[in-house]
Amino acid sequence: MNVSGLVLTCFRNHKETAVTWAPRLNVITGPNGAGKTNLIDAIHYLCMSRSFVATSDQYVVTSGEKSFTVEARFSGAIRSKPFDVRCTYSRGEGKRIYVNDSPLDKLSDLIGRVPVVVLSPDDKKLTREGPAERRSFLDGFIAQLSSAYLRDLIDYRRVLKQRNALLADYRMSRDVMQAMIEPWDLQLATLGSRIVHTRAQTLLRFTTYLEKGYETIAGIGHKPTFAYKTFINTVYSDMQINDYSQEGGADPDSSAPLSDFTIAGGPDSATADTRAGNTEGVAAGEDGVSGGKQAVWTPEEIQQSYAELLQSGFDKDRERQQTTIGPHRDDIVFYLNDLELRKFGSQGQHRLFALALKLAQRDYYTDELGDMPIFLLDDVFGDLDPSKTQVLVHMLLEQSGQVFITAANRNLFTSMFTPQKGMDALYRVADGQVTPLSE
């Protein structure tokens, strides 16, 4: 995919800014606070209907103003012809999104039209912090590929909110509450099973991309792996069960098991042992973090298991006034050379793993969609040593996708490559003003 032009009006510190982008590598330089990140954040906004920097749209509006507009033209192999996207927001009226001047009925309809991958300093949270960060990454990853998954996710959150509201009604008797909650349990099990199945199938395919991404930036001799931890208990009685922990997403004394899916796999994993006649299910590990036999779960089996767990966990949920089991508490545990990254990784390993994840996401999208996503790299080169920076820049130049890089140090890039006219461009940003440097 490609964005050729961008217009910002009252978007953060850009009062009135118009930029024409190069089709391959765009390097945006300037001092801290000049507005470099805001330019690529605007591109991200037009792809995902939200900022990757600000937590709320109201913080995107230029100080002293009441609204903002951002618009751009996109093109690519997955679309038959170029199209325009415009996003507007005003305090009191909210957000509106237009594609070719036609309003979208739902904001979620925008997601997936322009696949985008962003790497920012905040991505260190993926490997360092709690499960919510990794669930958010995984959900955003899949949502750009599957509108069905996004719909299921939105519906699941709506049903979960309704179920939790019932659980929080202390005036209701146990029997009445249980009767009223059954329809929500059915919906939750149906939606949740599809979410878990899609997550696991995606992660199974993602493994080789992660290995390649880490090798690209760190070289050979390293083994990045991960385990998908979810609520499903395997059919094997000798499976190692990991209970929910506070870090894992629920409470330390929960009776609900948090099992490990071995993802092709976790460290030292064996090959899958697929049930006869079934190749479309989810691989569930016998011992998710140390390898072992794998079973296969279908969406129907996941649904049945989830429904039973919701029913058996009703009293605990009622006591806690929230749903304590489900895909909203899943986690992904990352490993490097068979050691859990979150517990044992160095700062450098955390940075490289986050970069490898995003390189893998970019390659995965390219193969799945038949076109490269827009790649946004925000202020990440200061954390890399010169040799790895050079490897990454050369790799990006060898590929045909459009890339945006922000950096305070212009010389870091001018010493590594000469912009090819008509393909690459350098820009300087100062006080919200953008000046092309490569014309």
Provide the CATH number for the domain formed by 2-114+376-436 in this structure. Answer: 3.40.50.300
Residue (of 319, 256, 262) closest to 291 by Cα position: 262
Q: At residue 238, does pLDDT exceed 60?
A: no
Angle 199-51-399 from CA coordinates, rounded to 5°: 65
Residue (of 303, 327, 357) closest to 139 by Cα position: 327
Provide the pLDDT for residue 233.
53
Residue 30 sits at φ, ψ, to 5 deg, of 150, 165
Give the pairing type, strands 102-103 and 94-99: antiparallel
- The label of the residue with tokens 């986050």 reads 354
Residue intervals in the chain for CATH 3.40.50.300: 2-114+376-436
Global pTM reads: 0.86
Residue (of 261, 253, 202, 198) closest to 226 by Cα position: 261
pLDDT in tens, 360-391: 999 999 999 999 999 999 998 877 888 888 88
d(CA 310, CA 296): 21
d(CA 260, CA 242): 8
Q: Which residues contact 397 (CB under 8 A, 6 or more apart)?
A: 24, 25, 417, 424
Token digits for 384?
């890399």
Q: Which residues contact 305 (CB under 8 A, 6 or more apart)?
A: 231, 232, 233, 297
Please check whether residue 219 is in contact with residue 392, taking contact to mean a CB–CB distance below 8 angstroms.
no
pLDDT in tens, 113-162: 999 999 999 999 999 999 999 999 999 999 999 999 999 999 999 999 99
Give the helix/strand (H/E) hosting 378: strand 374-378
Provide the pLDDT for residue 342.
94
d(CA 324, CA 134): 18
Q: At residue 267, does pLDDT exceed 50?
A: no
Provide the pLDDT for residue 159.
98
* Strand partners for 128: none
With cut-offs at 50, 70 and 90, classify the pLDDT of residue 103.
very high
pLDDT in tens, 420-433: 888 999 999 998 89
d(CA 426, CA 436): 6
Q: Which residues contact 191 (CB under 8 A, 6 or more apart)?
A: 152, 155, 156, 159
Provide the pLDDT for residue 290.
31
Superfamily of domain 131-341: RecF/RecN/SMC, N-terminal domain (1.20.1050.90)
388/330: higher pLDDT: 330
Residue intervals in the chain for CATH 1.20.1050.90: 131-341
HEC-encoded secondary structure of 321-335: CCCCCCHHHCEEEEE
Token digits for 173?
């008797």
CA max distance for the chain: 74
Q: Which residues of 174-196 are buried (b: 16+ CB within 10 A; e: fewer)?
A: eeebbeebeebbebbbbbbbbbb
